[in-house]
Amino acid sequence: MVGINPEAATKAPPKVVTFRIRRYNPVSGREWWQEYKVETSRGMTVLDALLKIKEEIDHTLVWRYSCRMGVCGSCGMVINGVPRLACQTQIAEVADESNPVVTLEPLYNFPVIRDLLTDFTSFFEKHKKVKPYLIRNDKEEQEDPKGPYIVTPEQFEFMEEFTLCISCGLCYAACPVAASDPEYLGPQALGYLFRYVVDPRDEAWEMRLMIADDEHGCHRCHYAGTCSMVCPKVVDPAQAIQRLRNLLYKYKLGLLRKKKTSKPAPPPKEWKPRKPMPPEAQLVSPDVDLKKLEEEPVEIEVDGVKIRLRYKIYE
Ligand code: SF4
Ligand code: SF4
Ligand code: FES
């Protein structure tokens, strides 16, 4: 798996690293490899190096990034042949003294706009195709909600992994089927589809299974698993696709039991009005002798139980 590698933080990268970057200029149609030498420091990421190149060497270099912390999913690129997030990849992970060279390419299976910047339009169209939102039949509840739909901890645990996807497209870039069939829904969209099929709140599971049943849907998967290998959030889309296929076969053979979907939670119990505070606990009036209060315990009664309190006054 290509997640965060804490070991990398303990190593220092080579002092100077050569970044070999595949570039493309859409205006001239020219494609070429360009090299930049960057002085590095411990903890530096590939994104930091790109920003350094942009600021100090070549401001024409183009790529996409935003959060710098592995959350937005926008800085995906192919680093030394593997799709990774640039902000989550330390240089020490991908270069060492014996080979101080890092190769950067735009994500595979995506059209290139310029340099390392790729076009996600068709990727997000596929994402939209699987209807990545809850669908319910209880229209009345939708218009006038009475309470949240119940998801038990066990149900959430089962689907949680598939809710972590940040739509970075690394799995799609690693998928050999997406390379040969541009219409293939791909691991990201199918993983999302599975997440809603198993979500106890969703009632459109049959329609979703039919979307997966498409000729460019889950049957195209070779189950090579490279999608899961590169996921920076440790989602396992390959497993989701296998489970989806399993559900689909059972559904077609009439072996799938009707999904039990969750109902809105009952309204919370009425709050009991608070008991009034005992008079002894009210704010002390200014003419009370505070010193005396500290010295002599006060006795109060709560629910028939006598409690002796000794005050400590802090100035
Ligand atoms: S499944 Fe993983 S690799 Fe694929 S888009 Fe989601 S987060 Fe990225
Ligand atoms: S397991 Fe399926 S979706 Fe994942 S990379 Fe392989 S072919 Fe593509
Ligand atoms: S910049 Fe947001 S994931 Fe890398």
Give residue limits of the domains in the chain: 6-117, 121-252, 279-309
Q: How far is the CA of 169 from the centre of ligand 3 (A)?
A: 12
Least-confidence region, from 33-47, 116-130, 250-264: 250-264
Q: How far is the CA of 213 from the centre of ligand 2 (A)?
A: 16
**What pTM, to 2 d.p., does this model score?**
0.84
What SS3 state is found at 20? strand
Query: Which two tokens mark 202?
Result: 């969703």
User: Can you list the alpha helix ranges (DSSP code H) found in 130-281?
Assistant: 139-143, 153-163, 170-174, 176-180, 186-197, 205-212, 226-230, 237-252
153-163 vs 186-197: helix axis angle to the nearest 10?
A: 170
Q: What percent of the chain has pLDDT over 90?
A: 74
Q: How far is the CA of 77 from the centre of ligand 2 (A)?
A: 18
In whole angstroms, how large is the CA radius of gyration of the chain?
A: 29
Q: How far is the CA of 91 from the centre of ligand 1 (A)?
A: 22
Close Cβ partners of 298 (under 8 Å, ≥ 6 residues apart) = 280, 308, 309, 310, 311
Least-confidence region, from 90-99, 138-147, 182-191, 209-218: 138-147
Least-confidence region, from 80-94, 239-253, 281-295: 281-295
pLDDT at 159: 93
CATH number of 6-117, picked from 3.40.50.2300, 3.10.20.30, 2.30.30.100, 3.40.50.920: 3.10.20.30
Is the model's pLDDT at 161 over the cut of 90?
yes
pLDDT band at 279 (very low <50, low <70, confident <90, very high): low
Tokens 């970075």 found at:
168
CATH 1.10.10.10: does it fit domain 121-252?
no
Averaged pLDDT, 18-46: 97
Between CA 171 and CA 182 the distance in angstroms is: 14
Mutate to test the pocket of ligand 1, among 67, 118, 188 (most ligand atoms within 8 A of CB): 188
Using the atom order of ligand 2, give the atom closest to the CA of residue 225. Answer: 1
Averaged pLDDT, 245-254: 95
pLDDT band at 257 (very low <50, low <70, confident <90, very high): confident
pLDDT at 263: 87
Is the model's pLDDT at 110 over the cut of 90?
yes
Using the atom order of ligand 2, give the atom closest to the CA of residue 187. Answer: 3
Residue among 210, 211, 206 at smallest CA distance from 137: 206
Between CA 5 and CA 82 the distance in angstroms is: 15
Between CA 202 and CA 137 the distance in angstroms is: 9
Cα angle 57-58-63, degrees, rounded to a multiple of 5: 125
Does the CB atom of residue 237 touch ligand 1 within 6 A?
Answer: yes
